[in-house]
Amino acid sequence: MAGGNTPSVGLKAAGWKTGATDWTAKHDPTPFVISIQSQVVFGHVGNSAALFPMQAAGLEVAAIPTVIFSNTPDYPTLRGRALPPEFFSDLLQGARERGLPERADFILTGYIGSLDVAMMVADFVAEAKAVNPQLIYVCDPVMGDAGPGLYVPEAIADVMRDRLLPMAEIATPNPFELSWLTGQSVATLKDLETARTFLRIASGAHLIATGCALEDTPAGKIESVILGADIASRHPVEHLPVALPGTGDLFAGLIVAGRARGLSLPQTVERAQRLTSRALIHARTLGAGEVVLSEPEFLRELLTFGSCLPLPVDAPGAIGTHRVRNGRSPH
């Protein structure tokens, strides 16, 4: 480093305190997210799909990888692996040492590549919710789809069903995942309502069943269905003839962004669907093999999340109360 300065010296010269407590943890009102899921070197799946949209919407995100791959498995070669348990455990310990569980407004979890890591994720979420009762946990149980079927070991799916989902305020399974998790077929709204009762989420939690093509879904449409004690709503959108890796990861990240920026749950789903559709249409135009996050209108709309007004806590779809730090709302 020029002049022989260490990074610590450089930060001190800039007026920052370098110690166990950093400036942002005390004073930054920006909504803060811990996102625990996969990461790729090339392409957009897992955190590589969700991180940028959340940041562009004005959120601060601590991204913790569960696996690191060169790309998705859809390419001829695949490099990388699930994080070794001791390495992943070390990252979680670092997050604890920086006080991230206490600071977080949201935790988002997605794809998990090994049973040891799945168990550690469950422990970490439980600890975070114990020290931070206002934290909102969004569980995207990434485990399978109608085409490939279950693509994680059943032991990992069991952890999602038995340990992660019971802690979630919001769950975002697709129809295959919801059926596997509950043992219920999903063909009608009544089926979804029945499946929600079998899904091991809290009574006050919200299910967002994504990518549903029910018996009465309008032709040419696919829908997300929100079910909770205080709300039941259906949100149809054009069914695009394209299925790309990263779609669900992007959608889940946008759900967190919308909630963090004060949108109601229905508003959040509508916006997440619109933005996800934009990303898919752009990817199809480019001939890409996964979602693309560079379409100009997609980028412009992401920036408008920051202009949303906070949601009254008694509005339909409201989840708990928004944190106030140092007398200021994070929104």
Predicted confidence band at 311 (pLDDT cuts at 50, 70, 90)?
very low
Q: Strand ranges (DSSP E) for 140-259?
A: 144-145, 149-150, 170-171, 206-212, 221-228, 231-238
Predicted confidence band at 259 (pLDDT cuts at 50, 70, 90)?
very high
* Range with the poorest average pLDDT among 67-71, 145-149, 193-197, 248-252: 145-149
How far is the CA of 166 from the CAs of 13, 60, 114, 138, 159, in angstroms?
Answer: 47, 26, 20, 11, 10
What is residue 319's predicted lDDT score, i.e. its pLDDT?
A: 39
| DSSP code for 4 | G
Q: Which domains does the chain have, with CATH numbers?
A: 30-306 (3.40.1190.20)
Burial class, 126, CB count within 10 angstroms (exposed 0-12 / middle 13-18 / buried 19+): middle
What is residue 306's predicted lDDT score, i.e. its pLDDT?
A: 55
- Decide if pLDDT at 91 tops 80: yes
Predicted confidence band at 99 (pLDDT cuts at 50, 70, 90)?
very high
The two structure tokens encoding residue 93 = 């310990």
- Mean pLDDT, residues 58-81: 95
Kindly state the percentage of the chain with pLDDT values over 90.
74
The two structure tokens encoding residue 90 = 């070390």
* Range with the poorest average pLDDT among 25-29, 205-209, 274-278: 25-29
What is residue 147's predicted lDDT score, i.e. its pLDDT?
A: 84
- Mean pLDDT, residues 174-183: 96
Predicted confidence band at 155 (pLDDT cuts at 50, 70, 90)?
very high
